[in-house]
Amino acid sequence: MEKVANRLTALACLTAALGLAQLAGRAQAFDRNSFPGPHNTGIPKAVELTPYAGPCAITEPNTVIDSRRVTCDLYIKAPGVRITRSTTNRIDVDTPGASLTIEDSVIDAGRWQAAALGYSNLTVRRVEVRGGGASIHCAPNCIIEDSWLHGQYMQPGQPQHLGGYAAFGWGDVTLRHNTIGCDVPDNDVGGGCSGSAQIYGDFAALSGFTFERNLFLATPGGYCTSFGLNPGKPYGDNPTHIVVKDNVWQRGPNGRCAGYGPTTSFYIEGEGNIWHGNVWDDGTMLEPQ
In the chain, the amino acid numbered 71 is T
Q: pLDDT exceeding 70 applies to what percent of the chain?
A: 90
Q: How confident is the model at residue 29 (pLDDT cuts 50, 70, 90)?
A: low
The pLDDT, as a whole number, for residue 188 is 86
CA distance 257 to 217: 7
pLDDT in tens, 173-182: 999 999 999 9
Q: Which of 7-16, 176-185, 188-197, 246-255 is predicted least confidently? A: 7-16
SS3 category, 26: helix
The pLDDT, as a whole number, for residue 6 is 42
Neighbouring C-beta atoms of residue 250, cutoff 10 Å: 21
Q: Which of 83, 118, 87 is nearest to 103 (CA)?
A: 83
Q: Do the Cβ atoms of 255 and 281 come closer than 8 Å?
A: no
Neighbouring C-beta atoms of residue 258, cutoff 10 Å: 28
CA distance 222 to 87: 32
Q: Which of 206, 141, 133 is nearest to 173 (CA)?
A: 141
Q: pLDDT at residue 7 above 70? A: no
CA distance 280 to 27: 11
Who contacts 26 (Cβ-Cβ below 8 Å, separation ≥6)? 282, 283, 284
Q: How far is CA 264 from CA 198, 200, 288, in A?
A: 9, 12, 7
User: How do the domains of the chain map onto residue ranges?
Assistant: 33-47+101-280
Q: How confident is the model at residue 4 (pLDDT cuts 50, 70, 90)?
A: very low
CA distance 197 to 224: 7
Q: pLDDT at residue 236 above 60? A: yes
Widest CA span of the chain, in angstroms? 88
CA distance 187 to 259: 15
Q: Do the Cβ atoms of 198 and 180 come closer than 8 Å?
A: no
CA distance 136 to 120: 10
CA distance 90 to 76: 11
Q: What is the mean pLDDT of residues 59-77?
A: 98
pLDDT in tens, 8-25: 344 344 333 334 333 334
Hey, which residues does 263 pair with through a beta bridge?
A: 225
DSSP-derived letter for residue 32 is G
SS3 category, 209: strand
Residue 150 has phi, psi (to 5 degrees) of -170, 180
pLDDT in tens, 137-177: 999 999 999 999 999 999 998 999 999 999 999 999 999 99
The pLDDT, as a whole number, for residue 30 is 73
pTM: 0.89
The pLDDT, as a whole number, for residue 8 is 35
SS3 category, 171: strand
Q: Which of 144, 139, 90 is nearest to 119 (CA)?
A: 139
Q: Which of 28-37, 84-93, 103-112 is predicted least confidently? A: 28-37
Who contacts 29 (Cβ-Cβ below 8 Å, separation ≥6)? 248, 279, 281, 282, 283
Mean pLDDT of the chain: 91
Torsion sign (Cα): 182, 130, 185, 253: positive
Instruction: Give the residue ranges of DSSP H helices in the chain.
Output: 2-27
